[in-house]
Every structure is written in structure tokens, then in C-alpha cells.
Amino acid sequence: MIVASPSSLYSDLDVTAELDAPLGPHTWFGIGGRADLLIHPNSVEALATLVARCRRDGIPLRVLGSGANLLVDDDGVDGVVVKLDTPYFKAVEYNAEGPVQRVRAFGGASMEALVQELPRRGLTGLEQMAGIPASVGGAIRMNAGGKFGAVGDAVDAVAMILPDGSQRVFRRDEIEFGYRHTNLPKGIVAWASFIVREDDPAACRERVKEYFKYKKSTQPMDAASAGCMFKNPTMPDGSRESAGRLIDLAGLKGLRVGHAFVSDKHGNFLGVELGATTAELCALIEAVQQGVKQRHGVDLETEVVYWKRGEGA
């Protein structure tokens, strides 16, 4: 749905708005169309009011993090896209309470910056996120993680703005964190608090370095990608198989459609080159899914979130 008179949605709110805004530059793939309206809110209150108005007027609303797990359709998206990239939503607060501390980070705060800052302060708890590009909100939504753990391991509480504009804080014991999944309801992560502990700064730094080195040695970190394109599928015996291994065994590494390709280094990384379209990447995704189905009889489900007109929240 095109927003009919968009300024009535936000003109009295503490936000910055862009009409017909390109979304590609906000994503790691760097491709895809435009948003009817891109809003950068300056407070939780402004955001909550905007959310409530979108619900009232039947306008789809999506939230963009650092765009590291996002693919936008070539035709862009309808309604409102919110990006929490103002100083208010990038803030991080450190609450020293002896050896155990709670760090509160707003939804748009950079996870990479947090991972670097904690060792400087002699705090341990989020090293497992080294090398994973994310905003705090995007990391929580995806329960991002890998070999060394996931973001959920450190979460103390999450504050959400729900689709009707109301706000609620979920305590750790109310949240289930699973593989690239949480049971948090639909809505926007306004902030999250993490439990971290005092530790030797050099040891913390060393762990971050070691985890990052491992990631760099196994994954093509510099390609325009969204990390792993597919979730690791659950096999009949309940175990999880590596999607990258299945793609590799199916001989699909290096496969190309136009300017989109399967990485030679890691089968689950699908990348794009300059000039690529989302249509090319989607065709490649389908080709990989078909190839894996034919070779292994396994259905691969995408981990990357796909935004398309008419399919908004």
C-alpha cells in the first residue's frame, strides 16, 4: 500500500523522514528497490506513536537493522520502513554493579562496536558475536550466532514495541532462544540488556580475535552477501546438517546466475557483484534449493529475510 498522505503519519513526531528512499545502500547485498517512506525515529515515544498510527491506518511497517540479513525485492517495499540509526537508538549504557554488570544497548546500536568495546572495559559475555555484522535489534530478532554461541546466551531482558504501539519488557526467563529463532512476539526491539562479567581485558580481547580469525578463515567476509543464505536443515534423526556442506556435495559451489554466485569458499554464502538484481539472486537461490533437493532430497529454507511489496507486517 502506498502511504496516501505520509506527512500526517509523522509531521508532529520527533523523527526524520525520507520519501521514496533507496534501500539497497542500507543492506549488505546493496541491491533492491525503494521504500515508500523511510523513517529514522529519535525516541522510543516517537517510534511507538508511529507504530500505533501505522496499525490504525493499515499501513505495513518494517524495521531495518544493519541490513546484514536482508534481501529487498527489485520493486522495493510498500508502507513504512523504520531504521533505528539515530544517536538515541545507537546508545549503549554501562551499569557497573560489582563483577556482574548489565549493559543496556538500544535497538540500533552496533553489535560489532559492542563486541570491541566490552574487552576494553574488561567485560566478557558477547565475544561469541565477533565477526557477525548486526544491530542489537537485528541480532536479537535472528538470535544471531555461530560456533561459539549466540546473542541469546547473554540476554538479560528485551524491551519491545508491539504492533499496537504498546511497550513491554520481556525478562530472560520469558524468552526462548533457539537456532536463528526466538519466541519474542512481532514488534520492534527498542533495547536489550545483557549480563556481562568482569574479566582480564587481554583474555577477552584474545577471544574476540580468535573467534574473528576462525570466521574469516572459513567464510568470505568481504563478499556482498548476507552471511549464510540457508538455515542448516534438521535431518530425520533430529540432528542439524550443514547447509554449506550439502551445497558443496551437490557440486553447486561457484554456480552463477547473472551477477549472483555461490561462493567458492563457503557453499552457504551467496554473493552478488556490481550490477546484480534481486531477481538474479532469487533465481540462484531457487537453483541451489533444487540442486540440493535433487542430490540429497533435502529442502533448504532461507535464513535471509526477504522484503517484498504486499507482504509487509
Ligand X SMILES: Cc1cc2nc3c(=O)[nH]c(=O)nc-3n(C[C@H](O)[C@H](O)[C@H](O)COP(=O)(O)OP(=O)(O)OC[C@H]3O[C@@H](n4cnc5c(N)ncnc54)[C@H](O)[C@@H]3O)c2cc1C
Q: Which residues bind ligand X (CB under 6 A)?
A: 28, 62-70, 84, 107, 132-135, 137-139, 141-142, 144-146, 188-189, 221, 225-227, 305
Helices (H) and strands (E) in the chain, counts: 7, 19
Q: Provide, rounded to whole angstroms, the least separation between the CB of residue 41 and ligand X.
A: 11
Question: Of 204, 228, 280, 282, which is the active-site residue?
Answer: 228
Q: Look up 228 and say whether it is catalytic.
A: yes
Q: How many other CB atoms sit within 10 Å of the CB of residue 180?
A: 17
Q: In this complex, which beta carbon is closest to ligand X, that of residue 12 or of residue 273?
A: 273
Q: Provide, rounded to whole angstroms, the least separation between the CB of residue 11 and ligand X.
A: 24
Q: Provide, rounded to whole angstroms, the least separation between the CB of residue 98 and ligand X.
A: 30
Q: In this complex, which beta carbon is closest to ligand X, that of residue 5 or of residue 186?
A: 186
Q: Which helix (H) or strand (E) holds 155?
A: strand 155-161
Whether the Cβ atoms of residue 249 and residue 296 lie closer than 8 Å to each other: yes
Q: Provide, rounded to whole angstroms, the least separation between the CB of residue 5 and ligand X.
A: 25
Q: Provide, rounded to whole angstroms, the least separation between the CB of residue 216 and ligand X.
A: 10
Question: Of 112, 127, 280, 303, which is the active-site residue?
Answer: 303
Burial of 286 (0-12, 13-18, 19+ CB in 10 A): exposed
Q: In this complex, which beta carbon is closest to ligand X, that of residue 22 or of residue 201?
A: 22
Question: Of 180, 207, 295, 309, which is the active-site residue?
Answer: 180
Whether the Cβ atoms of residue 165 and residue 144 lie closer than 8 Å to each other: no
Q: Which helix (H) or strand (E) holds 286?
A: helix 278-296
Q: Provide, rounded to whole angstroms, the least separation between the CB of residue 67 and ligand X.
A: 4
Residues near 304 by beta carbon (within 8 Å), at least 6 away in sequence: 69, 70, 71, 226, 229
Q: In this complex, which beta carbon is closest to ligand X, that of residue 172 or of residue 295?
A: 172
For residue 145, which amino acid is it?
Answer: G
Whether the Cβ atoms of residue 284 and residue 229 lie closer than 8 Å to each other: no
Q: In this complex, which beta carbon is closest to ligand X, that of residue 10 or of residue 177?
A: 177
DSSP category for residue 237: T
Whether the Cβ atoms of residue 84 and residue 107 lie closer than 8 Å to each other: yes
Q: In this complex, which beta carbon is closest to ligand X, that of residue 7 or of residue 234?
A: 234
Q: In this complex, which beta carbon is closest to ligand X, that of residue 152 or of residue 291?
A: 152
Q: Considering just the CA atoms, what is the radius of gyration of the chain in Å? A: 20
Q: Provide, rounded to whole angstroms, the least separation between the CB of residue 110 and ligand X.
A: 9
Per-residue CA distances from 64 to 5, 28, 210 (Å): 22, 12, 30
Q: How many other CB atoms sit within 10 Å of the CB of residue 8?
A: 11
For residue 163, which amino acid is it?
Answer: P
Whether the Cβ atoms of residue 207 and residue 117 lie closer than 8 Å to each other: no
Strand-strand pairing, 92-95 and 100-106: antiparallel
Q: Residue 253 corresponds to which cell in the numbers above?
A: 559451489
- Catalytic positions, please? 180, 228, 303
